[in-house]
Amino acid sequence: MKDRKIIIALSSLSVYELNSFSKFIHSPYFNSNENIIHFYNYIEKFVKNNTLDSLNTEMIWSSVFPDTPFNNQKLLKLNSDLTYLLELFITQKEFEKSESFKANLKLEGVRKRNITKLYKGIIADIERINKLENDQSIEFYLNKYLIEKNLFRLKTESEKKNEKVEISSELNLKNISDNLDYFYIAEKLRQYCTLLGWQKMYKLDIELSNIEFIIELAQKEQYSNIPAINMYYNMYLTYNDSNNPLHYDNLKNQIKNSIHLFPEHEQWEIYVTALSYCINRVNKGDINFQQETFELYKQVIDNNLILHEGSLSATTFRNIVQIATRVDQSAWAENFIYEYSKHVDRKHRDNAVEFSLARLEFYRKNYGKVLEHLYRVTYEDVWYNINAKTLQIACYYELDEYDALESLLQAFKMYIRRERSLTPDRKIHYLNLIKFTNTLIKIQPKDKKRLENLYTDIKNTKGVVSKPWLEEKITFLLNKK
């Protein structure tokens, strides 16, 4: 029973939402079927108490229809009807969030019904919303366009009927056109930024029509005071011309000044672009951007943007811990692990926590503890496999476990060569780590010349995993008397 669509959906709701949904289905306007109410009342307590394993169809049927023989078809119909009401409830909750969207539908509704007595009050509400609403995201301009269009219809239809209706707006065709332009340009830029972000990770053969024309429009002075267009245009520049730091600086300044004008889901998209740029710079060896990346992640956390529908991805969780340790924030990283691990999906939580604790202990030079945590990691995918082995290599070296290290290097070399999911370039980066580590452990500490040559080789090689660590180990041996 717990695998049914309605049960899974209800389990995704908060206790507050479950209580609201109960009121919703008790409303005669939305539901007049008493059996649905009994059905929901019975399963609600199992959902709230997380005891769904003990729930079965016979128990539900006996509760709803105690004097009727079991009918599976009828029970499936109840499931279907409750699912429909839940979908309607979710729609209603989303509808309630947008004041301007509601105002536009009210205006359209009274216009279609020619309820002239309500015009003045609704138009006053719209003017009030326009003054108070801070949201200037893409949807803001779409709603403005729809409102202006309905105001225009209201005015022209009233004039055709020779009715004297007080409508304060003049002939607003320019407002209609302008808001449609703002929405279209900003939304096209947003979609293009999404595509550019995906193309950083995957090879996608997708082109968006008219995008060059949109980019030309975004540069025009008449759009310079539209936050959504400016924000997504700067995001486009940051993705498209990553070698020019001025684009990132402009984006960062706009985040500082305008991020509050966007809803939470768009704020996250904006921060992802900035984070992507910073992480890319770190991966290219620009360590100055480590602190920058950490500060951005802190902003995301402080602004309550890190959780998406109450969840935190394992990848983001690990990335935050890693960058925190790189900027000497081990205590902060430890607090983050224990405070936010509960938000990582249970399926991936243990691995994310154990691996992050291993990284933390590595920073603290507790190499034995690193290995303890890594032993508790389940190598469920390639990422954990290659990154755990990379940490193990460093730990065995630091602990002078050279026999174990040589065995690991040999096994890791075979694994990298056979793993089909890794790109050829990525394979070379790991093979370089293996090659240089093998060379390092075979050089006598007093052989400064060979150490210097090895250091030069590593320095001049572009793709080397754990390059800073290798350079640090060689530098230590060169300075050792």
Query: Is 317 within 8 Å of 303 (Cβ atoms)?
Result: no
pLDDT, residue 3, reads 63
Q: Is the pLDDT of residue 164 over 70?
A: no
- What is the rounded (10 degree) CA torsion for 449, 451, 454, 460? -80
Q: Is the pLDDT of residue 169 over 70?
A: no
pLDDT, residue 135, reads 65
pLDDT digits (tens, 9 = 90+) for 200-218: 766 667 888 889 999 999 9
pLDDT digits (tens, 9 = 90+) for 296-334: 999 999 999 998 878 899 999 999 999 999 999 999 999
pTM of the model: 0.74
**Contact residues for 338 (Cβ-Cβ < 8 A; gap 6+):** none
DSSP string computed for 146-163:
HHHHHHHHHHHHHHHTT-
- Give the integer Cα–Cα distance in Å for 404 and 400: 9
Q: What percent of the chain stands above pLDDT 70?
A: 94
pLDDT, residue 397, reads 95
pLDDT digits (tens, 9 = 90+) for 342-371: 999 888 999 999 999 999 999 999 999 999
- Give the integer Cα–Cα distance in Å for 280 and 231: 20
Going by pLDDT thresholds of 50, 70 and 90, the confidence category of residue 451 is: very high
Position with higher pLDDT, 301 vs 381: 301
- Give the integer Cα–Cα distance in Å for 233 and 453: 47
Q: Is the pLDDT of residue 163 over 90?
A: no
- Give the integer Cα–Cα distance in Å for 283 and 385: 20
pLDDT, residue 326, reads 92
Going by pLDDT thresholds of 50, 70 and 90, the confidence category of residue 151 is: confident
pLDDT, residue 121, reads 85
Q: Report the greatest alpha carbon distance in the chain.
A: 101
DSSP string computed for 75-111:
HHHHHHHHHHHHHHHHHHHHHHH-HHHHHHHHHHHHH
**Contact residues for 400 (Cβ-Cβ < 8 A; gap 6+):** none
Q: What share of the chain is helix, strand, coil (3-state, %, to 5)?
A: 75, 0, 25
Position with higher pLDDT, 99 vs 358: 358
DSSP string computed for 272-333:
HHHHHHHHHHHHTT-THHHHHHHHHHHHHHHTT-S-BTTBB-HHHHHHHHHHHHHTT-HHHH
Reading the block at residue 226, the tokens are 């539209």
Going by pLDDT thresholds of 50, 70 and 90, the confidence category of residue 178 is: very high
Query: Is 478 within 8 Å of 443 (Cβ atoms)?
Result: no
